[in-house]
Amino acid sequence: MSYLSLANGVITNNLFENVNGFPLGDIAQSMMLHNNKGFIIVNNSQKVEVVNSNDFTSQHTIGGLQGPRYMVGKGNKGYISDWFSNSIAVVELNSNTISKNISTGNGPEQMAIVENVLFVTNVGGFGNDSTVSVINLLTEANVGTIQGGINPNSIQLDANGKLWVLCGGSTGPDYIGGTADDIAGSLWKINPLTFAIEQEFTMSSSTHPVKLQINGNRTDLFYLSGSDGYSGKIMKISANSSSFNAVPIINKDFYGLGIDPVSGVIYGAFVPGFSQNGYVFRYTIAATLVDSMLEGRSKLFCI
């Protein structure tokens, strides 16, 4: 884990190990802040590390997971998407124990909570899926699916109360983007009360977008647009758009993307290779470069 101080612009690498005296684990996939704690999902180590959000001291380790990806929380409950079990693990946050597993589609990925409903994008795992699972949090049961584009990977809630789901499409059996077997990526708007699809924007066949983000006012959507399904240039589209008019605002390929909800600063993570440290680039809301800094390798998740 790397920590960037917005007060002085200093980045600190290996924060977890420096504070706690032991390594975080293999592949920090994502992180959730909830109830004054940080929940770090460590994918290959099949665990979640719980830390004090003020000083990063280790509080607990949540095990019993197979391939954890992302986590969201509401009240004293946490919900972890788990690829290999194709389920959502329900965590009792008072005790940091898993109380239940709820079945989903293939490769549950990012999630969003609207009132008492959990929406789960099923990215397909190592195959394909085209659904969003709908889970009633009061009964903790899967109550249905929403059929959308191929391999939905990320989800955001806009200021109008609508859900936006980004689907990466597929690079096909050859795993190479821009070839004849590609399936196009797409962007979907869903009414979370009726589960109805209100808009569908289909991209070119060689476009496989990822990492949907939204600004603090929840009026503008951002994502990475590329051909490999992992990285791409930063695109922007209004959540009020009635047609697909996404425009590239930063013409550089990034692997991670985040938007500061207060300042609107855009963060892009650039990875030269999986055995090298990466860089974080910061841009103003007008997409003007502010600076860049070296961080530990892997990816960026802004919270």
pLDDT tens series, the chain, 303 aa: 999 888 888 889 999 999 999 999 999 999 999 999 999 999 999 999 999 999 999 999 999 999 999 999 999 999 999 999 999 999 999 999 999 999 999 999 999 999 999 999 999 998 999 999 999 999 999 999 999 999 999 999 999 999 999 999 999 999 899 899 999 999 999 999 999 999 999 999 999 999 999 999 999 999 999 999 999 999 999 999 999 999 999 999 999 999 999 999 999 999 887 778 888 999 999 999 998 887 754 444 444
DSSP reduced 3-state for 19: helix
* Identical fold between 1-103 and 105-303: no
For the record, the structure tokens of 89 come out as 């693990």
Name the residue type at position 223: Y
CA angle 34, 35, 41 (to 5 degrees): 35
Category of 46 on φ-ψ map: left (φ > 0), alpha (ψ -120 to 50) or beta: left
Q: Which two tokens stand for residue 87?
A: 């389920």
Q: What is the pLDDT of residue 235?
A: 98
Residues making up the chain, counted from first to last: 303
- Looking at residue 111, the DSSP 8-state letter turns out to be E
Highest CATH level, class, for 105-303? mainly beta
Q: Assess contact for 121 and 129: CB atoms under 8 A.
A: no
225/101 Cα distance (integer angstroms): 33
Structural tokens at position 134: 């709908």
Whole-number pLDDT of residue 271: 85
Res 298: pLDDT: 42
Instruction: Please give the full DSSP string across 182-198, using - where no structure is assigned.
Output: -B--EEEEE-TTT--EE
Distance of CA 9 to the CA centre of its chain: 24
Domain parsing of the chain, residue ranges: 1-103, 105-303
| Confidence (pLDDT) at 296 | 57
Task: Say if residues 129 and 105 touch (Cβ distance below 8 Å).
Answer: yes
Q: Residue 52 is encoded by which pair of tokens?
A: 């004090």
Token digits of residue 138: 């009061």
CATH architecture type of domain 1-103: Beta Barrel (2.40)
Buried b (16+ CB within 10 A) or exposed e, 141-177: ebeebbebbbbbbbbbbbeeebbbbbbbbbbeeeeeb
- The distance between the two most distant Cα atoms of the chain, rounded to a whole number of Å, is 52
In terms of phi and psi (left: phi > 0; alpha: psi -120 to 50; beta: otherwise), the region of 145 is beta
What local confidence, expressed as pLDDT, does residue 228 receive?
A: 94
For tokens 């200093």, the residue is 10
